[in-house]
Amino acid sequence: MDTQRYLSMYRTMCLIRRYEDRLAEVYAEGKSPLFNIAAGPVPGEMHLAAGQEPVAVGVCAHLRPDDAVTAPHRPHHIAIAKGVDLKRMTAEIFGKAAGLSGGKGGHMHLFDAAAHFSCSGIVGAGFPPAVGAALAFRRSGSDRVAVAFAGEGAANQGTFHESLNLAALWKAPVVFVIEDNHYAISVPKGVSTAIAQNSDRAASYGIPGTYVAGNDVLAVDEAAREAIARARAGGGPCLLEIDTTRLYGHFQGDPEVYLKAGEKEEWRRKDPILRFERWLADHGILDAEGVARIRDEVAAEVEEAIRFAREAPDPDPRSAFVGVFAE
């Protein structure tokens, strides 16, 4: 058993959770007693991914820095798992000059060329670019792959169906990952989607589709291993749909009136990090001391990123007027 690999996955999950929990606090600064979305050190919308760590970590564990990823409007967990620079990402979310894009993108529009990572605030928009990146990889003769992440709501977009068909035609090395957190903002999957599992839709395009139940990082790890290995080996695209839970609202400030009674408590009881922690303990990989050490480490890393972002200078307003075109 590769204990270092499991510890690394556990650590990344803890880093994501700590990051999102701290960002929830930082985001709230300056927004009380009256919630004002434009106030505080982090303005604008904020979509947090706590609870969805198994998806990002289980999939990205099989990716290399030169593989491409497109992510949706809820991108932090995927960015962190893909290796996006945490300090510069945080500075971008704070709208600072030292941010990934010098403050021109923000939380929903994170770009890191070094990590081949990009995201979009438009639902379903990441599928076509991932197919294109995969075409470029296939043509160059490399074994690089592209992964498009999106929520289950995005599987009802035309881009999803168009992209699966095109990827299958092109035998493009791309893996489509649907994060099924059960709600498209407020609309439950059963109200928006005519079939129970989007993974069944893969059959329409002659590609494999797998539903991964249980919000379980080990199950995701196994499914992603097969899917990504297949794409790397020239086997073409496939579709993974991964059952997960969103521990915060759709965005910070969401009253969550649509949740069923006790639903959130049930998700918290089944916290995927705690379950993985227990599994690691049961297999003698991690003890209480190890847990405490890792949690301290990731907390320090998050604080360092937040400090870096807070202290970074604002962008020069004149920079708003340049950079529309490449020179």
Partner 1 sequence: MATETMRKLTMARAISEALAQEMERDPRVLVWGEDVGVYGGIFGATQGLYTRFGPDRVIDTPISESAFIGAAIGASAEGLRPVVELMFVDFFGVAMDQIYNHLAKNHYMSGGQFTHPVVLMCAVGGGYNDAAQHSQTLWGLFAHVPGLKIVVPSNAYDAKGLMISAIRDDNPVMYFFHKGLMGLGWMPSDDLAEVHVPEEPYTIPIGQANVVVEGADISLVTIGATVPRAVRAARQLAADGIRAEVVDLRTLVPLDKEAVLTSVRKTHRLVIIDEDYRSFGMSGEIAAICAEEALDFLEAPIRRLAVPDVPIPYARPLEQAVYPSVESIVQTARELLG
Smallest gap from Cβ 324 to partner 1, in A, equals 5
Run of H or E including 24? helix 3-28
Q: What character string, x for contact with partner 1 (CB under 8 A) and - otherwise, covers 163-202? A: x-xx--x---------------------------------
Interface residue with partner 1 among 93, 134, 223, 302 (CB under 8 A) is 134
In this chain, which stretch among 20-28, 40-48, 124-132, 276-284 interacts with partner 1, using CB under 8 A? Answer: 124-132
CA distance 302 to 297: 9
Task: Give the number of other Cβ atoms within 10 Å of residue 36's Cβ.
Answer: 11
Interface residue with partner 1 among 1, 34, 38, 326 (CB under 8 A) is 326
Residue with tokens 């807070």: 310
Q: Smaller CB distance to partner 1: residue 14 or 110? A: 110
CA distance 146 to 57: 16
Tell me if 321 contacts partner 1 by CB under 8 A: no
Q: Smaller CB distance to partner 1: residue 81 or 166? A: 166
Q: Which two tokens stand for residue 15?
A: 């880093």
- Alpha-carbon radius of gyration of the chain: 19
Q: Which two tokens stand for residue 55?
A: 């998806």
Q: Smaller CB distance to partner 1: residue 125 or 247? A: 125
Total residues contacting partner 1 by CB under 8 A comes to: 42
Tell me if 90 contacts partner 1 by CB under 8 A: no
Smallest gap from Cβ 80 to partner 1, in A, equals 18
Annotated active-site positions, please?
246, 250, 258
Nearest to residue 103, comparing CAs of 309, 325, 304, 311?
309
* Integer CA distances (angstroms), 44 to 83, 106, 112, 123, in order: 24, 8, 20, 17
Q: Smaller CB distance to partner 1: residue 104 or 225? A: 104
**Cis before 208? omega within 30:** no
Q: Smaller CB distance to partner 1: residue 239 or 294? A: 239
* Integer CA distances (angstroms), 264 to 28, 151, 267, 294, in order: 21, 18, 5, 26
The residues that touch partner 1, with contacts defined as CB under 8 A, are 68, 70, 99-102, 104-105, 109, 111-113, 116, 118, 120, 122, 125, 127-137, 139-140, 146, 158-159, 162-163, 165-166, 169, 323-326
